[in-house]
Structure 1
Amino acid sequence: MSQREAGVRRGPRRRADSRFVVAALLPAWIFLAVLIGYPLVKVLIDGFSYSNLVNPSVSGFAGTRNYSDVFADPHFTGALKNSVIWTVGSVLGEYMLGLGSAVLLNRRLKGRGIFRMLTFIPWLVPIIVAGMTWEWMLNPDFGIINSLLVRVGICDSPVNFLGSPSWAMPTVVFVNIWRSFPYYTITFLAALQAIPPELKEAAQIDGASAWRSFWSVTFPQLRSPSLIIVFMHLIWTAVNFDFIWVMTQGGPNYATMTLPLLIYRYSMQDFNVGMASALSTVMLLGTSVIFVVYYRLRRNLSEEIVG
């Protein structure tokens, strides 16, 4: 059989295979289009339109009016600042605590399995349950945290952690770190166990201290998982709504108001879908920039490893 005849016979089979692939993936494409595509396009359109949840007569093309109204909102700057503090503070704390706990749990310790199990418990607690539990524990009247602080003499009187503008944001960041750091621990622990022991043995033979061995041998092996988990949590934390809403609802006096909560306020309290969509689009652009930075760093890291 000539190559031309074989190519002619393979042609219909390839077309049939292509049709089968398209038919198999079509339900998934439709699902993604309905679940993600349509809402995304709707938000982009509403950002340039007058739209109100309870007043259908409010309609029409708004141009950039919604965006100018968002930027002119006196609470926008504070919400942007709080979002940066919330995101950077949470991710930085989660990274440091997750890396430290992973290094400790990777050592040969007595009862290591029990410590690993206890470390993972906060990640298993649902956000709503964790937020409500901490809100109860931090209550200045009957919370166990204030009771312990007063009894041991650290505080003279109970501290209203969630009701004080100066304490509210550090408190919700701390609680978020407590709940999310086990995810980092799991990731780094898996990466640490994948490091060849020969590298550590070579460092010990060369006389490197434990600290030097960690920074020169162990930490470079964690660059790839660090890059992935940090940028993934930057986006997750930046768009997080439920944790702060459960604990403070953006208060007191907008001290914990972030951009996702401001979007909720525009849409569900002011019923201004146009401004909510405009701010959502701004956040989409911001998270897209984070993704682009991640992609470039990831590509450079991959080229460095391959090279």
Structure 2
Amino acid sequence: MKADAAVQGPVLAIRASGHRPTRAGQVRRTALKFLAPAGILFLILIANPLLRVLWDSLHIVNLVNPSVTGFAGWDNYRTVWEDGDFLPALGNTAIWTGLSVAGEYALGLASAVALAQPVRFRAIFRGVIIIPWVIPIAVAGLNWTWMLTPDYGILNVWMVDLGLLDRPYPWLGQIDTALLTVTFVNIWRSYPFYTISLLAALQAIPRELHEAAAVDGAGAWRRFRVITLPHLRTVSLTLIFIHIIWTAINFDFIWVMTEGGPLNASETLPIMIYRYAMQDFDVGAACALASLSMAFMACLFFVYYYGVARRRAA
């Protein structure tokens, strides 16, 4: 009996320990409980509308006449592709996104490096530079529209007084300058986000690295290229990737300032989606174009994700 009890004791202990959750399992279950509300909101607010867009892109959906329904197959995508405004809008989207992101990064990096230097009133400059980014897009767009108006715009008045222009110029009313003008305004508003992000990364670089490089005879440009830029790589790639998506799908700025005009010179894909849905009432075509845009953004995400994963593995 004593031998049996001696054997049963460890067996019961092993069984008990087998049913007892490990610490890693407890942490995992606790994490899932905290993530559950966010997961539910994701399904309701993102996954459900996304699936609805994909579904409507393959069906006939009309806002004016809801009774007109049916399976459209690839007809909505064919409508988008055969639209004469699609390729120009795609080109405008590429120009708008590329110039905006490049300008924002260049200006943000320059201002971040300047604000990292021990200059007087640096704290004030750091507070003031964030002002354009906190201004709502609608307010910023309307203000710049008024300042650029050829009749009473203050910027046109100043440029005429300084001799830069012979007469006021309709920056937002000309085919050649409308998109570039809106792009400039978007850069003005968005670059402070780059500034504060890159400034935080600059402050995390150990000063000993720069001091050691200076002792070895490295100049300012070489220290910036060899030490500063590599430390900013992760933050820079993240900022650029996020802003490519944000800028490509941006609707507010262009709509507030030009509504895609003149003559669709500043029309981008989000403006085109709006016209399909709210002016032509063709929700199916709008969803088809939105699906194409999402597919392109997904491709960018996977390229970025696998690029980061490969770099970490190396």
The TM-score range, normalised by the shorter chain, is: over 0.9
Shift of 1:6: 3.2
Residue correspondence of structure 1 range 1-307 to structure 2 within 5 A = 2=10, 3-10=13-20, 25-304=35-314
Q: Secondary structure at the match of 2:117?
A: coil
**1:4-35, CA deviations, whole angstroms, 9 ceiling, x for partnerless residues?**
23324415999998877666544433322111
RMSD (Å), alpha carbons: 2.0
**TM-score, with normalisation over the residues of structure 2?**
0.92
Deviations 1:54-107 (A, max 9, x none): 111211110100001100001001100000000000000000000000000000
Structure 1 alignment gaps of length 5 or more: none
- Identity of matched residues, %: 51
* Structure 1 residues 199 and 18: CA distance shift in structure 2, 3 A: closer
Cα distance in 2 between the residues matched to 1:237 and 1:42: 24
The alignment partner of 2:176 has SS state of coil
2:121 is matched by which residue type in structure 1?
G
| Aligned length, in residue pairs | 304
Structure 2: 5+ residue stretches without partners = 1-8
Aligned residue for 1:163, secondary structure, equals coil
- SS of equivalent to 2:150: coil
CA gap of 1:18–1:103, structure 2 versus 1, over 3 A, is closer
Q: 1:19 to 1:191 in 2, by over 3 A?
A: closer
CA-to-aligned-CA distance 1:260-292 (integer Å, 9 cap, x gap): 000000001101010000000000001011111
Question: Which TM-score applies when normalising by structure 1?
Answer: 0.94
Q: Distance in 2 between matches of 1:238 and 1:273?
A: 20
Q: 1:15 to 1:119 in 2, by over 3 A?
A: closer
Return the index of the structure with the highest Cα Rg: 2
Please state how far the C-alpha of 1:111 moved relative to its aligned partner.
1.2
Instruction: Give the SS at the match of 1:157.
Output: coil
CA distance in 2, matches of 1:158, 1:8: 82
CA offsets per residue over residues 142-188 of structure 1, 9 Å max, x none?
00000000000000000100011111011000000000000000011
